Amino acid sequence: MEAGRLTMTEAEGREDAFAVLRRAMVEQIERHADRVADRTGRAAISNPVLEAMGRVPRHAFVPVEMAPYAYLDRPLPIGSGKTISQPFIVALMTDLLGIGREHRVLEIGTGLGYQTALLAELTAEVFTVEVIGELARDGRRRLAGQGYANVSFRIGDGSLGWPEHGPFDRIIVTAAPDLIPPALLQQLKPDGRMVIPAGLEDDQRLLLVTREAGGRLQTAEMLPVRFSRLMSGAEAADM
Residues near ligand SAH (CB under 6 A): 78, 82-84, 108-109, 111-112, 114-115, 129-132, 135, 157-159, 174-175, 228, 230-232, 236
Rounded least distance, CB 108 to ligand SAH, Å: 5
Residue whose CB is less far from ligand SAH, 24 or 237: 237
Rounded least distance, CB 39 to ligand SAH, Å: 22
Residue whose CB is less far from ligand SAH, 172 or 222: 172
Q: What angle do CA 86, 90, 93 make, to 5 degrees?
A: 135
Pairwise CA distance, residues 237 & 135, whole Å:
16
Residue whose CB is less far from ligand SAH, 133 or 190: 133
Q: What angle do CA 174, 49, 71 make, to 5 degrees?
A: 70
Pairwise CA distance, residues 79 & 135, whole Å:
8
For the four alpha carbons of 29, 32, 36 and 37, in that order, the dihedral sign comes to: positive
Rounded least distance, CB 95 to ligand SAH, Å: 15
Taking Cα atoms as reference points, which of 104, 107, 119 lies closest to residue 49?
Answer: 119
Rounded least distance, CB 81 to ligand SAH, Å: 8
Pairwise CA distance, residues 72 & 75, whole Å:
8
Question: Residue 171 in 3-state DSSP?
Answer: strand
Rounded least distance, CB 85 to ligand SAH, Å: 6
Query: Exposed, middle or buried, 193 (CB in 10 Å: 0-12/13-18/19+)?
Result: buried
Taking Cα atoms as reference points, which of 59, 60, 112, 64 lies closest to residue 84?
Answer: 112
Q: What does each C-alpha distance from 202 to 53, 122, 133, 199 come to in angstroms?
A: 29, 32, 27, 8
Residue whose CB is less far from ligand SAH, 37 or 132: 132
Q: Are 176 and 228 in contact (CB under 8 A)?
A: yes
> Which are the catalytic amino acids?
85
Residue whose CB is less far from ligand SAH, 84 or 97: 84
